[in-house]
Amino acid sequence: MKHSKTNSLTAWIVLLVILMSLVLVSCGVSVPKPEDLKTYRELSWEGTELTVKLGTNKSTGCEWKNKFGDDSIIDYSINRKFTLSDKGAMKGQTVGILSAGFEGKRAGTTTITFTTPCDWDGNAPGYTYVVTVEVAADGTIVSASGK
């Protein structure tokens, strides 16, 4: 009887994991594969909040720093985190996504320049990613584009 309850619980857990995966896929939530993090760049905004997501490799020093064109237009938000990806998929490297949050302050257009000291493998010059942000008078993010 005890063995049957354990099997039943395990089956329910597996079913729950499958259902949660389907919900995430149907909602459009996707996580890049570790091998795609090298080129991963994503911008999103809502209200006064701008989020910039960049693939990063802490093992090699390919970590992003940023500099504001004008920090009176946009500045840091409290939303900044590093999410670790599957280390095994990248031969033990500490890879993941830097999710940096910024907040609109006043009307204007400015840039946030992201740089790394070296490339993904740590052997060549680093990357540069420039985000141009337009902010309304109330701090609302109007647009953001990166290149």
The model carries a pTM of 0.74
3-state secondary structure of 118: coil
Tokens linked to 98: 């830097």
**Fold assignment, 34-146:** Immunoglobulin-like (2.60.40)
Tokens linked to 92: 């033990």
What are the pLDDT tens digits along the chain (147 aa)? Answer: 555 666 666 666 655 555 554 444 444 456 678 788 899 999 999 999 999 999 999 889 999 999 999 999 999 998 767 666 655 556 667 888 888 999 999 999 999 999 999 999 999 999 999 999 999 999 999 999 999
Task: Please enumerate in sequence order all residues whose Cβ is within 8 A of that of 137, keeping only pairs 6 or more positions apart, or say none.
Answer: 106, 107
Q: Give the DSSP H/E element, type plus range, for residue 133.
A: strand 128-135
- Delimit the domains of the chain by residue range: 1-30, 34-146
